[in-house]
C-alpha cells in the first residue's frame, strides 16, 4: 500500500484535507457500528436485573433508532467525498497517461502494443484508483472496527477473555497473508496475458476485411479462442488459490468464537462478567469476522493494485528519446535543408535502412525520390518529422541542426501524406480540417480542388458532412488517398511530402493532381516519393535510392542520359503503357 500511495503522492498532497476528513468519518462510522452490541448487552442486563422502566426503555429504543440514522448521515457524506475523489483521481491519471502517450516518440510505440497500452489505462488504472480511494475504507474502517472492538472488549468487559479469544486472529491473519503474497506473480502474468488478448481482438477487428477476403474467419476465430482460453486459464489458477485459501480465515474465526463462548461461560459461573456482557462480547467477536475477512480481501486487492500501479508507472516513467530542451529554437520558415552523412537504423533492426545520405533541399524546390521497394525512401524523408534521432550524421536547417529546433515547429513546417492513410470516424470536412482546424471554407475548397477530390464530393450522400466509416471503410482507396492529400494541403505547409500517395489513383487523376500542385504550390517545397515517374519527371531534383544509398541524382532529362536504375525503370514503364 505504501508503494501505491508513494506513486500518487502528488494527488494526496493536493487532497490531504479531504483524505483526513474521510479517515475521520470512517473512524466515526466504525465506532458507531459497535454501539448496537453495547446497547444490546445493557438492555439484557437491565431485563435480567428487572430494572426495566418506561424511561430506560424509551432511552434504549431512541438510541437504537438514532444510531443507524446518524450512521446513514455520516456514511452519505463519506461516500459522496469518496466518489468525488475517485472520479478526480481517475480523470487526472487518464489525463496524465494520455498526455504522456502523445509526448512519446515512435520508438516507444514500437516497444508497446496497442492492446498493452489500452489494458494499462483500463484494468490497471481502475485497480490503482480503487486502491487509492475505496481501499482506504477497507484498511481504516476494518482496522478501526478491530481496534475499537478489542479496546471495548478489554476495558468494559474482560481483558483475559479478550486475550484468549482475539490473539489467534492477528497471528492467523499474518501467516495466511504471507502465504497469499505468493499469488502476486500469477496476477502479474494474468495481466500480461490479458493485454495480449486485447491486442489480438483489436488486430482482428481492424483486419476484418482482409480476414474475410481470404476466408480466414474460422482460423482467426480459433486464435481468438486460444487467446481467451489463455486468459481464463491464467485467472483460473488465481480463483483456485482463493477457493482453498479463503475458508482458512473462517476456521480462524470459528476457533476464536468457540474460545470466547467457552471461556465467557466460565467467567459468568465465577461471576466475573454478566450475561449481557457475554452477549455483547460474543457480538463483538461476530463483528470482527467481517473486518477480518475484508482485510484479507484488501490485502489481495492491494497485491493486485501494486502490480497495476507498477505497470501504469512503467509507462509514465518512459522518456522519449526525441524531445525538446530548454534551449530549443523556434522556426517558422527556412531557406535550405541539408542532409549530411545521415545514417539511420531502426531500434529493432540489425542494420541501417539508409546509409551515409548527403543532399540538399532549397526552399521552393520540388524533390522527387524513387527507388526499388525497401530501398529506404520513406525512412529517408520521415527524418524531417523527427520521429527518431538519426543514428549518424545530421540534418541542418539553415545551418542549424534539426535537433536544436522545437519539435512541434519542425513538424508544423511539414504537411505529410503517408502511405497508410489513417482516416477517422468523422465527417469528410472534419477529417480534412485535422490538418488545419482554423481553416475557413475557402481554404477547405482550395485543398479539395488541388487534391482533385471535389468531383467525389457531389456523389457523397451529405457532401462535406458525409460520415466517413471507421479507418475510411466507406471510401475507395483512391478517395482515401486524395482526402489525405487534402488534409495536408489545407495546412498550406512550407514542405509538402507525398509518400507514395498517388499509387491508388489512375493516371488521369494523377496528372490532374500534379498539375494542381504545380499551379497552387509554386514557390513552396514539395517532396514526392513515387513509383510512377510521371509524378516526379518535372521535379527540380530527383534522387534514386538503392539499398539505402543515393546511387543517382539529377533532373529527369539528366538521369535518362546515363545508364542506371532510373533509365531502365523508365523504359520499362513506358513499355508497359
Identify the band that residue 237 occupies on the pLDDT scale cut at 50, 70 and 90.
low
**Tens digits of residue pLDDT in 189-221:** 777 787 778 777 777 776 776 676 666 777 778
Residue 488's domain is classified under what CATH number?
3.40.50.300
- What domain range is 135 assigned to? 2-317
Closest of 196, 166, 151 to residue 38, by C-alpha? 151
- Phi, then psi, of 407 in degrees rounded to 5: -60, -45
Closest of 36, 73, 75 to residue 287, by C-alpha? 36
Residues 421, 308, single domain; the answer is: no
Contact in structure between 308 and 97 (CB atoms under 8 Å): no
Taking CA atoms, 159 is separated from 210, 240, 291, in Å, by 74, 39, 21
Rounded to an integer, what distance in angstroms lies between the CA atom of residue 503 and that of residue 418? 11
Taking CA atoms, 360 is separated from 37, 343, 350, in Å, by 87, 15, 28
Rounded to an integer, what distance in angstroms lies between the CA atom of residue 538 and that of residue 517? 11
For the whole model, what pTM was predicted?
A: 0.70
Beta bridge partners of 396: 338, 401
In this structure, is residue 360 part of a structural domain?
Answer: no
Sign of the four-CA dihedral 445, 447, 449, 454: negative
Q: How many domains does the chain have?
A: 2
Rg over alpha carbons for the chain, rounded to the nearest Å, is 36
pLDDT above 80 for 325: yes
Q: How does DSSP assign 63-111, residue by residue?
A: HHHHHHHHHHHHHHHHHHHHHHHHHHHHHHHHHHHHHHHHH--HHHHHH
pLDDT of residue 130: 79
pLDDT above 60 for 177: yes
Rounded to an integer, what distance in angstroms lies between the CA atom of residue 530 and that of residue 370? 6
**Domain finish residue from 453, 468, 493:** 493
Identify the band that residue 399 occupies on the pLDDT scale cut at 50, 70 and 90.
very high
In this structure, is residue 323 part of a structural domain?
Answer: no
pLDDT of residue 51: 62
In this structure, is residue 545 part of a structural domain?
Answer: no
Burial class of residue 124 in the structure, from the number of CB atoms within 10 Å of its CB (0-12 exposed, 13-18 middle, 19+ buried): buried
Residue 86: Cβ within 10 Å count = 15
- Phi, then psi, of 530 in degrees rounded to 5: -150, 160
**Domain finish residue from 441, 466, 493:** 493
**Domain finish residue from 493, 527, 553:** 493
**Tens digits of residue pLDDT in 422-461:** 888 889 899 999 999 999 999 999 999 999 988 888 888 8
**Tens digits of residue pLDDT in 54-79:** 777 787 778 888 888 999 999 999 99
Q: Under DSSP, is residue 495 helix (H, G, I), strand (E, B) or coil? A: strand
pLDDT above 90 for 80: yes
Question: What is the overall mean pLDDT for the chain?
Answer: 84
- DSSP-based helix, strand, coil % in the chain, nearest 5: 65, 10, 25
Residues 283, 138, single domain; the answer is: yes
Identify the band that residue 577 occupies on the pLDDT scale cut at 50, 70 and 90.
low
Pick the range with the lowest mean pLDDT from 45-54, 145-154, 192-201, 522-531: 45-54
Pick the range with the lowest mean pLDDT from 233-242, 454-463, 516-525: 233-242
In this structure, is residue 563 part of a structural domain?
Answer: no
Identify the band that residue 52 occupies on the pLDDT scale cut at 50, 70 and 90.
low
Helices marked H in 397-491: 407-412, 428-433, 441-450, 454-457, 477-489
Residues 308, 421, single domain; the answer is: no
In this structure, is residue 531 part of a structural domain?
Answer: no
In this structure, is residue 100 part of a structural domain?
Answer: yes
Taking CA atoms, 125 is separated from 128, 231, 448, 495, in Å, by 5, 19, 42, 40
Residues 313, 182, single domain; the answer is: yes
Give every strand in the sheet of 366-370, ordered side by side. Answer: 414-417, 495-499, 525-529, 366-370, 541-546, 549-554
Residues 296, 434, single domain; the answer is: no
Rounded to an integer, what distance in angstroms lies between the CA atom of residue 558 and that of residue 542? 10
Q: How does DSSP assign 22-40, residue by residue?
A: HHHHHHHHHHHHHHHHHHH
Q: Which residue has the higher pLDDT, 413 or 503?
A: 413
Residues 114, 224, single domain; the answer is: yes
Give every strand in the sheet of 400-401, ordered side by side. Answer: 354-362, 336-344, 392-397, 400-401
In this structure, is residue 324 part of a structural domain?
Answer: no
H or E stretch covering 161: helix 159-166
Rounded to an integer, what distance in angstroms lies between the CA atom of residue 489 and that of residue 196? 38
Q: How does DSSP assign 379-395, residue by residue?
A: HHHGGGGTSS--SEEEE
In this structure, is residue 388 part of a structural domain?
Answer: no
Residues 313, 455, single domain; the answer is: no
Residue 180's domain is classified under what CATH number?
1.20.1560.10
For 192, residues 6+ apart whose C-beta sits below 8 A from its C-beta are none
Rounded to an integer, what distance in angstroms lies between the CA atom of residue 382 and that of residue 335? 19
Beta bridge partners of 362: 336
The torsion of the CA quartet 470, 471, 474, 478, rounded to 10 degrees, works out to 170
Contact in structure between 575 and 567 (CB atoms under 8 Å): no
Amino acid at each position: 500500500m505504501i508503494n501505491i500511495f508513494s506513486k500518487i503522492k502528488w494527488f494526496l498532497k493536493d487532497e490531504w484535507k479531504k483524505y483526513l476528513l474521510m479517515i475521520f468519518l470512517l473512524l466515526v462510522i466504525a465506532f458507531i457500528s459497535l454501539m448496537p452490541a453495547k446497547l444490546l448487552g445493557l438492555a439484557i442486563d437491565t431485563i435480567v436485573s428487572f430494572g426495566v422502566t418506561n424511561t430506560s426503555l424509551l432511552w434504549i429504543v431512541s438510541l437504537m433508532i438514532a444510531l443507524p440514522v446518524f450512521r446513514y448521515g455520516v456514511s452519505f457524506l463519506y461516500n459522496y467525498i469518496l466518489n468525488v475523489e475517485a472520479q478526480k483521481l481517475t480523470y487526472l491519471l487518464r489525463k496524465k497517461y494520455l498526455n504522456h502517450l502523445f509526448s512519446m516518440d515512435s520508438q516507444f510505440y514500437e516497444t508497446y502494443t496497442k492492446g498493452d497500452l489500452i489494458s494499462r489505462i483500463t484494468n490497471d488504472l481502475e485497480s490503482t484508483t480503487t486502491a487509492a480511494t475505496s481501499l482506504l475504507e477497507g484498511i481504516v474502517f476494518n482496522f478501526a472496527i478491530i481496534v475499537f472492538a478489542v479496546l471495548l472488549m478489554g476495558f468494559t468487559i474482560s481483558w483475559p477473555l479478550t486475550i484468549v479469544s482475539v490473539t489467534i486472529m492477528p497471528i492467523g491473519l499474518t501467516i495466511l497473508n504471507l502465504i497469499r503474497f505468493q499469488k502476486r506473480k500469477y496476477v502479474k502474468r494474468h495481466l500480461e496475458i490479458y493485454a495480449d488478448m486485447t491486442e489480438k481482438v483489436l488486430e482482428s477487428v481492424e483486419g476484418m476485411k482482409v480476414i474475410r477476403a481470404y476466408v480466414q474467419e474460422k482460423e482467426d476465430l480459433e486464435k481468438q479462442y486460444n487467446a481467451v482460453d489463455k486468459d481464463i486459464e491464467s485467472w483460473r489458477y488465481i480463483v483456485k488459490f482463493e477457493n482453498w485459501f479463503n475458508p482458512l480465515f473462517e476456521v480462524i474465526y470459528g476457533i476464536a468464537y468457540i474460545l470466547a463462548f467457552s471461556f465467557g461461560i466460565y467467567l459468568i459461573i465465577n461471576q466475573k462478567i454478566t450475561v449481557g456482557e457475554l452477549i455483547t462480547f460474543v457480538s463483538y467477536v461476530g463483528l470482527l469476522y467481517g473486518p477480518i475477512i475484508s482485510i484479507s480481501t484488501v490485502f489481495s486487492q492491494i497485491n493486485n493494485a501494486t502490480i497495476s500501479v507498477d505497470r501504469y508507472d512503467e509507462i509514465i516513467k518512459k522518456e522519449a528519446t526525441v524531445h525538446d530542451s530548454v534551449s530549443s529554437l523556434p522556426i517558422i520558415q527556412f531557406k535550405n535543408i541539408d542532409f549530411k552523412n545521415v545514417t539511420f537504423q531502426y531500434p529493432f533492426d540489425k542494420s541501417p535502412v539508409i546509409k551515409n545520405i548527403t543532399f540538399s533541399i532549397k526552399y521552393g524546390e520540388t524533390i522527387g525520390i524513387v527507388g526499388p521497394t525497401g530501398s529506404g525512401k520513406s525512412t529517408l524523408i520521415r527524418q524531417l518529422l523527427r520521429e527518431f534521432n538519426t543514428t549518424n550524421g545530421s540534418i541542418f536547417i539553415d545551418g542549424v541542426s534539426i535537433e536544436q529546433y522545437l519539435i512541434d515547429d519542425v513538424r508544423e513546417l511539414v504537411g505529410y501524406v503517408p502511405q497508410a492513410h489513417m482516416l477517422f470516424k468523422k465527417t469528410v470536412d472534419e477529417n480534412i480540417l485535422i490538418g488545419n482546424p482554423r481553416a475557413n471554407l475557402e481554404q477547405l475548397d482550395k485543398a479539395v480542388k488541388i487534391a482533385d477530390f471535389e468531383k467525389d464530393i457531389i456523389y457523397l450522400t451529405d457532401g462535406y458532412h458525409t460520415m466517413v466509416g471507421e479507418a475510411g471503410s466507406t471510401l475507395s482507396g483512391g478517395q482515401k488517398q486524395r482526402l489525405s492529400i487534402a488534409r495536408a494541403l489545407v495546412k498550406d505547409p512550407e514542405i509538402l511530402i507525398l509518400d507514395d500517395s498517388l499509387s491508388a489513383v489512375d493516371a488521369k487523376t494523377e496528372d490532374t493532381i500534379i498539375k494542381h500542385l504545380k499551379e497552387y504550390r509554386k514557390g513552396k517545397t514539395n517532396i514526392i516519393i513515387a513509383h510512377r515517374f510521371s509524378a516526379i519527371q518535372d521535379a527540380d531534383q530527383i534522387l534514386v535510392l538503392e539499398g539505402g544509398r543515393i546511387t543517382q541524382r539529377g533532373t529527369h532529362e539528366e538521369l535518362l542520359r546515363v545508364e542506371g536504375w532510373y533509365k531502365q525503370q523508365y523504359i520499362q514503364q513506358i513499355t508497359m503503357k
